[in-house]
Amino acid sequence: MIETLRCRVCESEYPAVASGTCDRCFGPLEPVYDWESLDVTRERIEAGPRSLWRYADLLPAAPPADVSSPGWTPLVPAPRLASVLGVGEVLLKLDLANPTHSFKDRVVAVAAAKAAEFGLDTLSATSTGNLANAVAARAAANGVPAVIFCPAGLEPQKLAATTIYGARIYGVRGSYDDCSRLVSELAGEVDWGIVNVNLRSYYAEGSKTLAFEICEQLGWETPDAVFVPIGSGAMFTKIWQGFQQLERLGLSTGERPRLFGAQAAGCAPVATAFAEERAVMPVRPRSIASSIAIGNPADGDLAIATARASGGAVYAVPEEEIGLNISLLAETGGIFGEGATGVALGALREAVRRGDLGESDRVVLLVTGTGLKTPQLAEPSGSVVEIDPDIDALLEDLGVPV
């Protein structure tokens, strides 16, 4: 049972209620675990459900009845991609295998379980698409209403993948940051579980399970590096925290991996601040990678500190390379990832170009969502040839002698 929340910036402590932000410095709050009383072993974890709830002892909410999903997504080798890049081994963490085809199912599962504990009977969020899908699906499974706030003009594929579950969507005329401000104001007026506002302390903990799974799937060994797209910065910092916690409990072997963050050049407040060695300053998003286009990232400064502590970096990827990277992953790994994945692959390519990684390194690339939600971003190399149902014409086009 979690009884305390602690600010990650000023370390002020609060009761474990539905609250996400420190009243003193506005830093993010996180659950405090009683490490001395935890009895977590590899054997106990391995005997658990094939979902993120196998790590229930390291999460702030009790597992719900349907513990079969999400999480425990595949970690698969991509040898052709590794060969093209000049890296020893590239492993793809396929979070597009989650129920709504993105990593957001992880964080929402934890937030929704906590909402039920608090007796909050409506789930809500501000989202650029993937989180909307995950909240709507989890609300439907739990039998509670879902109310989602998105920037107006969101991709039709993402809207359809949210309304299919019966959710109500408000299209806000403005950016994600405009939505976020509106919903932060709303949180003081309604008694809802807003997963990335008043439940954010618990919601963010779901991202740690990516680190837990990667390590367990590698036989409890850590990789050399992990590449992560950055929006708010929460996932990036929590993955690092996950590796720290495994080490603290004596569950992992090897050094903690270097973490490399990735942002699209059209919305790169964290990457720019990292390069210029200063604090993060808000920007106006102008990126095709909408799922991570957050101009005022709540955990941006913590993401920079995390990158430095891990020996990694945060890179900005040119907008014109995102679609090319999506195609490269598809053509060499057989995986169609979303825009954020194209950005993460761009950061991996940049790290190789700078000499940060080479043929002796084992690298994990997060595939955070499916490209089927944003097919317009891809740049396919294949083609469609229209023909008559005539074998001679087909053989001629194929260059086969008749």
Residue 177's pLDDT band, with cuts at 50, 70 and 90, is confident
pLDDT in tens, 90-149: 999 999 999 999 999 999 999 999 999 999 999 999 998 899 999 999 999 999 999 999
Pairwise CA distance, residues 5 & 128, whole Å: 28
Answer whether residue 190 shows pLDDT above 90: yes
CA-to-CA separations, 335 to 31, 57, 123, 260, in angstroms, rounded? 35, 32, 31, 21
DSSP 39: -
| Residue 94, pLDDT score | 98
Identify residue 265 by its one-letter amino acid code. Answer: A
Pairwise CA distance, residues 209 & 73, whole Å: 10
Lowest mean pLDDT among 177-186, 210-219, 267-276, 310-319: 177-186
Residue 314's pLDDT band, with cuts at 50, 70 and 90, is very high
| Residue 68, pLDDT score | 65
DSSP secondary structure of 257-280: PEEEEEEEGGG-HHHHHHHHTS--
Residue 152 backbone phi and psi in degrees, to 5: -60, 145
Q: Which helix (H) or strand (E) holds 365?
A: strand 362-367
Query: β-strands 75-77, 89-94: how paired?
Result: antiparallel
DSSP 292: G
Mean of pLDDT over the chain: 94
- C-alpha closest to that of 118 among 203, 52, 33: 203
| Residue 294, pLDDT score | 92
Answer whether residue 202 shows pLDDT above 70: yes
- C-alpha closest to that of 257 among 374, 398, 365: 365
Lowest mean pLDDT among 69-78, 136-145, 158-167, 297-306: 158-167
pLDDT in tens, 238-293: 999 999 999 999 999 999 999 999 999 999 999 999 999 999 999 999 999 988 99
pLDDT in tens, 358-379: 999 999 999 999 999 888 898 8
98, 101, 104, 107 alpha-carbon torsion, rounded to 10°: -10
Give me 90's structure tokens: 């590239």
pLDDT in tens, 96-108: 999 999 999 999 9
| Residue 153, pLDDT score | 84
| Residue 371, pLDDT score | 94
The pTM of the full predicted model, rounded to 2 decimals, is: 0.94
Q: Which helix (H) or strand (E) holds 263?
A: strand 258-264
pLDDT in tens, 24-75: 998 889 999 999 899 999 999 999 999 999 999 999 999 988 766 799 999 9
DSSP secondary structure of 55-117: GGGGSSS---S-TT-S----EEE-HHHHHHHT-SEEEEEEGGGSTTSBTHHHHHHHHHHHHHH
Query: β-strands 313-317, 225-229: how paired?
Result: unpaired
Identify residue 326 by its one-letter amino acid code. Answer: I
Give me the mean pLDDT over the 309-317 stretch. 98
Q: Which domains does the chain have, with CATH numbers?
A: 1-32 (no CATH), 40-53+102-203 (3.40.50.1100), 75-101+206-377 (3.40.50.1100)
Instruction: Give the full edge-to-edge strand order of the sheet including 4-7.
Output: 13-15, 4-7, 29-31
| Residue 6, pLDDT score | 95
Pairwise CA distance, residues 57 & 148, whole Å: 30
In contact, 263 and 303? CB cutoff 8 Å: no
